[in-house]
Chain A
Amino acid sequence: ETAVFQTPNYHVTQVGNEVSFNCKQTLGHDTMYWYKQDSKKLLKIMFSYNNKQLIVNETVPRRFSPQSSDKAHLNLRIKSVEPEDSAVYLCASSYRVGQDTQYFGPGTRLLVL
C-alpha cells in the first residue's frame, strides 16, 4: 500500500533548466527525507525535515533547495540542473527522527540531457 507519493515519475530536461519534485506522505509522520540514488544504486541523504524544520542538510550543491509547507509535504527544487544531477530522487518519511523505519516513495527519475 503506497503511502509516500512522489510526482513526477520521470522527468527529462536540459542543462540549465529548473525542476521541482513533489513528495507527500499520508502516514502522519513527523520526519521526511530526500535521497539521491545514482546509477550504481548508491544512496545518499540530501535533506531531512522534522515538523517542517530542516535538521539534516548534507553537502549538496546550492542549486538544490528543499521546501516544506507542512509536515506531510516535502518538495525539492533544483535550479539550473547539471548532467550529474541525473539520478533517481527518493523521498521517505518516518514517525520520528532517525530511529524509526523509513517508508520510501517510488522515486522520481531525472534525466538531464
Chain B
Amino acid sequence: GEQVEQRPPHLSVREGDSAFITCTYTDPNSYYFFWYKQEPGASLQLLMKVFSSTEINEGQGFTVLLNKKDKRLSLNLTAAHPGDSAAYFCAVRGTGGYKVVFGSGTRLLVSP
C-alpha cells in the first residue's frame, strides 16, 4: 500500500525566511494530496488540497509543489512568520483501498 515519508521532522527558521517541507510517496498513481496544519493545542485544519493534474498550487503565503515524476509533494512557506509555528502534515490518497495516508509531521518553529 501507499507509504509516505515526510521530512524534516523538526524545522526552525527565522521570521521572514522560507520553510520547506517535503513528502515522498510510493504509489505513482496517487491522485489526491493534502496539506494540513495543526496549531499548538488545536486539531488539524486543511491548508490545501491538490489534484494530481496541477503541479504548482499557490496559497496565501505558501506554495504547494507536486512533482509526479519524483513522487514528491512539497510545501514552501514563503516569508514565514511566528503565526506559522505549528505541525504540518501531508496526506496522500493512493489507488488501493480507502485510506488517506498521512506523513509523520513536521514541527515548524518560526522565531522573531
Contact = CB atoms under 8 A, between A and B. Distances in A.
Interface of B: 31-32, 34, 36, 38, 42-46, 49, 87, 89, 91, 93, 97-100, 102, 104-105, 107
Interface of A: 41-43, 45, 48, 50, 55-56, 90, 92, 97-99, 101-107
22 contacts: A41-B38, A42-B104, A42-B105, A43-B89, A43-B105, A48-B98, A50-B98, A55-B98, A56-B98, A56-B99, A90-B44, A92-B44, A98-B32, A98-B99, A99-B31, A99-B93, A101-B34, A101-B46, A102-B34, A102-B91, A106-B42, A106-B43
Nearest to B87: A41
Contact of B45 (A50, A97, A104): A104
- B-side binding surface: helix, strand, loop or mixed? strand
A99 B32 contact: yes
Contacts of B100: 45, 98, 102
A106 B41 CA distance: 9
Of B43, B45, B87, B104, most buried by chain A (CB within 10 Å of CB) is B43
Nearest to B93: A98
A28 B15 CA distance: 40
A47 B84 CA distance: 30
Nearest to B91: A102
A81 B42 CA distance: 25
